Homo-oligomer: A and B are copies of this chain.
């Protein structure tokens, strides 16, 4: 059944013994929503916990407080936040497949895996939906506002991405009124980079190839680079966005050399070139503005292949 925020608030009020699930490779939105919902339910006098997520990184460790479920907790009601499908459950949540009674989500692609669904696909962050639900019960306090702010701010790149709406800013304003330290959150998530990450970015700049007067950028991180810089997967996260910020670049290609003689390519394009068509020629695909493919071969071979593919699509 589809529930509005008001109906979801009532549905939750009528139940108890909550376990809240977050998604695989959890981000600030799923974690922030889970913690805020847990605190809100407890304020209603309920028993509520968040299922520990084995993929959670240290970036979020200071937010959990005492919300994490002990291993022997037996829930009566299982709720998921910001999870679009059961395929996105972390391993720890596998046993709850088919058992989620309420999914709260903002992904239009939600598969409807839960018995009840509270979906608002026009919201930039699931945190905006949680704010609507919690405020059906009471004004949020600073303890709930902090994780909700993390949710809303991280899913919008600190109000920078195109998903940011007037509602996103209104929710941020209301959350900040509670008085938590938003500047510290912003500093941690948006104004801090690791030394290794910055070395990776520097390496990319030193080895970048530009074509067509700078309209096409080819960037690569080799296995040798990774080893020399001691770069982990976390250090390489969303590295295509780094290349994509280059002024004047219309098509950016980020190449990561993988073990086993393969390269993984991420292609971002302006509206004059379809990235999905370009990657499709090499067995990949995705969206018109952002696609990917995997190529057998070395980095120079991958560069040659993607340039040939770009030229073919440009000429057609």
Interface status of A30 (Cβ within 8 A of chain B) = no
**A158-B158, A160-B191, A199-B205 given; 13 more Cβ-contact pairs under 8 Å:** A158-B159, A158-B160, A159-B186, A162-B183, A162-B186, A164-B176, A164-B182, A166-B173, A193-B247, A195-B247, A198-B246, A201-B205, A202-B206
Q: What 4 pairs between A and B have smallest CB-CB spacing?
A: A162-B183, A169-B173, A202-B202, A202-B205
List of B residues within 8 angstroms of A246 by Cβ = 192-195, 198
What DSSP secondary structure best describes chain A's contact surface? Answer: helix
Residues of A within 8 A of B (CB): 158-162, 164-170, 172-174, 176-177, 182-183, 186, 190-195, 198-199, 201-203, 205-206, 210, 214, 244-248
Instruction: Chain B residues near A193: list those with CB within 8 A.
Output: 245-247
**Cβ A195 vs Cβ B214 within 8 A:** yes
Contacts of A198 in B (CB 8 A): 201, 205, 246
The quantity of this chain's copies bound in the complex is: 2
- 19 cross-chain CB contacts under 8 A: A158-B159, A159-B159, A159-B169, A160-B191, A164-B183, A166-B174, A167-B173, A169-B172, A173-B173, A191-B245, A193-B246, A194-B246, A194-B247, A195-B210, A195-B247, A198-B205, A202-B203, A202-B205, A206-B206
CA distance A174 to B166 in the complex (A): 7
| Nearest CB in chain B to that of A182: its residue | B164
